[in-house]
Structure 1
C-alpha cells in the first residue's frame, strides 16, 4: 500500500512538473506577432532577443537601423491607422502614453487585440521600469537583468562625471530639421530630461514648455557653456557617438558655446528616445562637460 502511495505521489509530482514547464514555455512564447507603436519599446524587444516576434513597428522605431528599416511600418505613434495595424493580425500591440488618435486605439481594442501601454517616463529609472515591464509582459523577465545592469553601469559612470564637474554646465538642447529649422527644448521636453540626466542646467527651462524656434540673438544672450544638437536626417543623420559640430553652425559663432568650441551633435533618437541606450548617450554628453565649463 505504501509503495502504491509513493508511486501515485511521484506520478502527481511529475504531472504537476510537466504543467509548470508547459506553462512557462507558453508564457515565454505567448506573443508571436507583436506590433510596437513606440521606438523605445521596439529597441527593447530587440535587446531582449525577441526581434523575430516583432512583425511591425511605427516610424519612431529606428534603432538598430539595419533591423528596423526592414520592418513594416504602421505610421507615426500619434497618428496610427487601425486598418494598417489590424492587417498585421497582431497578438499584442505595445503603445506609448500619447498613442493616438484615441478613436483608432479604441477601434483596435474593440477588435480584441491585446494592448499594453508603457509609461515612457523620461528618466533612467523610467527606462528601466519600461524594460522590465516589457520583459515581464513577454515572459522573459530574466533577460532584462543584463540590459538593466549595463544601463546602471553607464548611469554610475555619468554620476561620477557629474561629481567631477567644476559647476553644473549651462546647456541648450536643440534639434535640427523640419520646416521650423533649429528648435530648442524647454521645460517638459525630452531635451530637458536629458539635460537633467547629465546634471546640466537648461538655459530655456523657464522660457517655454516643449519646443520652440529660437533666434541667434536669443542664443547669444543666454551665455550657455554648451549646445547639444540632436540630428536625425539629411547631411548629418546622427549616431550614438557625440561629435564636435562648432564649425557647422556659423549662425551660433558669437555664442559662448561656440567660443568654447562646445557645439556638439548627437543622434536624436539615441539622445532623446529614452530607450535602452539612454545612459550611454548621457555618458557621451557628460564626457564633454569639463572641457566646456570655464
Structure 2
C-alpha cells in the first residue's frame, strides 16, 4: 500500500495530462484507450493486450506480471497505465525511481468496476468527457444485455464450472471472487463451485459432486486447451450433466474475463451458449 501511495503522489505532481508516449499494461486498459480513440498516443503494450488486432503491432514489453523495467524504459514512456495486478513489485520500484508517472487501475470484475476503469483511464489521459461518453455507452449496453439474460435464464439457471487448466489431467477451477465467477453470474448462470475463493485444484470427486451443466474454458491451446472428447472423458467430468450433453464452451480469455468495453457482448455470447438466443 505504501508503494502505491508513493506512486499516486508522484502521479499527481507529474505532467500526466501532457503525456504523448503512453504504455498500457493490461489488455482491457489497452482496449479502453482504443475505444477512447486515443491510440495514437500508445508506444507499447503488454502481452495480454491482443485486441483490437492493431494493438499487436505495438512493441510488446512482456507479460504484465513479469515485467522487465529495462524493456519498459526502452520505450521512453511518459505515462504508464497499468492494471493493479502488474508487477513484480521490484520492477515497479525501478520504474518509480526513474520518475515515470504510473496510474494503477483497479481491476474489479463487475459492472460498476468496468465503468470506474473506463473513467480512470480517461482521467489519466486527460479526456474525461470522452470517458464519460464511453462509460455511458458501455453501461447502457451492459444493462440491456442483463435484461436479455434475465429473459433467457428464467427460473432454472444452469450450473457452470470455469476450468482454467487441465494440465496433467488435474482440474484447476475457479471458485468465488474471480472474473470468471462474475461473468457466470452476469450471464445468468450459477457458479458450480463456491467452496473457495480464487483458483485451486479440484479432486475428481469434488467436480462430480458439483454436477455442472456446462464447462466454461478459455479458448487456447496446449494442455490448457484439452480437446473436448478427452476433456469429457476425464473421471472428474464423465458423469456430469455437462458431459452427458457435451456442453463445453470456450471463449477468448480477454473477451470473457477482461471486463473491458466488449463485456456486454461477452455476456450475451455466454448467455446464448447457456440458454440459446
TM-score (norm. length: structure 1): 0.77
Q: How does 1:55-134 map to 2 (within 5 A)?
A: 55-64=43-52, 66-134=53-121
Asked which structure has the greater CA Rg, the reply is 1
Distance, in Å, in 2 between the alignment partners of 1:179 and 1:112 is 44
Q: 2:268 corresponds to which residue?
A: 283
Question: CA 1:145 to 1:233, structure 2 compared with 1: closer, same or farther past 3 Å?
Answer: farther
Provide the C-alpha distance between the structure 1 equivalents of 2:203 and 2:61, rounded to a whole number of angstroms: 36
Secondary structure of the 2:57 match is coil
1:247 Cα deviation (Å)?
Answer: 5.5
Q: 2:156 aligns with which of 164, 167, 171?
A: 167
Structure 1 gap segments, 5+ residues each? 1-26, 238-244
1:29-55 alpha-carbon deviations (Å, 9 max, x no partner): 722111111111111111111212111
Paired position in structure 2 for 1:17: none
Query: Residues 138-188 of structure 1, C-alpha deviation per residue, up to 9 Å, x if partnerless?
Result: 122222344323322332233223433223322111234766765211122
Q: In the aligned structure 1, how far is the partner of 2:87 from the partner of 2:165?
A: 25
- CA–CA separation in structure 2 for the residues paired with 1:136 and 1:96: 15
Distance 2:191 2:200 in 1: 14
Please name the residue that 1:12 is paired with.
none
Alpha carbons of structure 1 residues 283 and 45: separation in structure 2 relative to 1, 3 Å:
same
C-alpha distance in 2 between matches for 1:235 and 1:211: 17
In structure 2, relative to structure 1, the CA distance for the partners of 1:280 and 1:210 (3 Å cut) is same
| Separation in structure 2 between the aligned mates of residue 166 and residue 185 of structure 1, nearest angstrom | 24
Farther-moved stretch of structure 1 (83-92 vs 139-148):
139-148
- Could you say which residue in structure 2 is the equivalent of 1:228? 216
Let me know the Cα RMSD of the aligned residues: 2.8
CA contact (8 A) 2:165 2:223 kept: no
User: Does residue 31 of the first structure (1) align with residue 16 of the second (2)?
Assistant: no
Inter-partner Cα distance in structure 2 for 1:279 and 1:71: 26
C-alpha change, 1:179 and 1:61, in structure 2 (3 Å) is: farther
- Cα distance in 2 for partners of 1:149, 1:289 equals 27
Residue 216 (structure 1) shift: 5.0
Deviations 1:234-289 (CA, angstroms, capped at 9, x unpaired): 5999xxxxxxx966743245320233443211111110111111221011112233
Q: 1:256 aligns with which of 221, 241, 250?
A: 241
Match of 1:47 in 2: 35
